[in-house]
Structure 1
Amino acid sequence: MENTFLVGMLASIGAGLMTGIGAIPIFFTKNISQKMLDALLGFAAGVMLAATSFSLIIPSIEYAGGGLSGVLITSAGILVGGIFLDLTDKYSPHVHLLDNRQEGINASLKRIWLFIIAITIHNFPEGLAVGVGFGDNNINNGLILAIGIGLQNMPEGLAVALALVRENYSSKKAFLIALLTGLVEPIGGFLGLWMVKFFQPILPFTLAFAAGAMLFVISDEIIPETHRGGHEREATYGIMIGFVVMMILDVTLG
């Protein structure tokens, strides 16, 4: 268990660092088209969707014993996870720099802090998913999830950095902020690892809870953002390619 915990933490940190790696192109060019960005974000959504399906929901049903009872436990976890993130999103003051919307309760915080809160809300479920993916000492499943989350973090890191540059932040500061937002994920990873270590009987529910939170992020934030600029077709193909890539990774590595 100790080895699993260590590997899980390292995997969570690695997945989070991929956000910074994705932001590196801003040092070389700012001229990344919105069409390309929407396609890349669509790819991220597809990877998340496949990771949710194959690495969280299916194992949740299996750990719950399968059959109708297993499906009901998993369904409850998905819904609770989605509701939890909905309430967090609704009552936490934050701003989305990608589309300039402010949400949550009013607060007299600087805009950058509102943005960081938004990224924290967004990235926390991904770290949680990686952590619970190591449940039942399943290092293989956890590593596959970490790889998938790392892949989808790269276009998100680029999108965050570009948004900050457009808000007149320097490339260096935009990169550092994008990197730091990715490091929210190890916090979620630690919580997920802790939960499955001390509350093993609720592993199926915990996996499904992480899946529900991830599904909420995909539907509520990423897909609407990719469709906002009129590049729905490119984003849709991005989702399909991301889903296929993650499905292949899950089958070949799993």
Structure 2
Amino acid sequence: MKLNKNPNLSTDSEKEVIIQKQINQLQKEISDWASKESNQPEEKKRILLRTNTETNSIYHTIVEKTEAKAVESKLKFISLTSQKLKRLSELEPNETTFQKQTFMLKKVLVYLDILYHISKRLFVISKSNLFGKQVELQSEVDSLIHEVDRIASQAEFNDMRLFAGDFAKDSRVASLWMIHQSKGELSRVWIATMTSKSLGLTTVEGNYLTLSNANLFQKNIEEAINRINEERQRIQSVLD
């Protein structure tokens, strides 16, 4: 995928513009497909979306019409992530050491913000009237939990994975140190693991939470929201 040269955009911004165009086109295709009457109720659609310009960053799935809303929900959050990253790349300088470390933490905050909104949507689903809609809503739950793990696997800065646990407090893989710009002090910064498993959205056996156990579902979602909020506040305090 070739990036068009635009002197007014950074390379990161150009990447997000490409992703946005793909998402807009795909959203229209899904909407048209889902609303079109068909004599084949089991008709399926192949979804292919490059969520990053890296070769392995492709979202690929086959969906039925009953899953269209779930895919649209996922695409909404992919689109929101792309918009926020584009804006960050355009507004935040990323050249000096101090600028790079600030940019990285603000990028972490972008992803945390998306995870927060996904969790809030999951909480709304848990409060929905499930009568006659449980299959459709569970499909959306599965899609959004998958999106949490997609973010955890692709959120990176300079090829460093941010949410996979490498920089967590108990990590033995790597450590992250930053220099305070005004004080000149060196301090360690932790970034918590933000996978669906660490947030309690996946069971010990590796299965996604289900709406069949509403109380457990709501409890785990509330805990995930609180944990994400705490991490947002902690990262923001490093920037303040």
The structure that is strand-richer by fraction is 2
TM-score, structure 2 normalization: 0.35
The structure that is helix-richer by fraction is 1
The higher radius of gyration belongs to 2
TM-score, structure 1 normalization: 0.33
Higher relative contact order (CA 8 A, sep 6+): 1
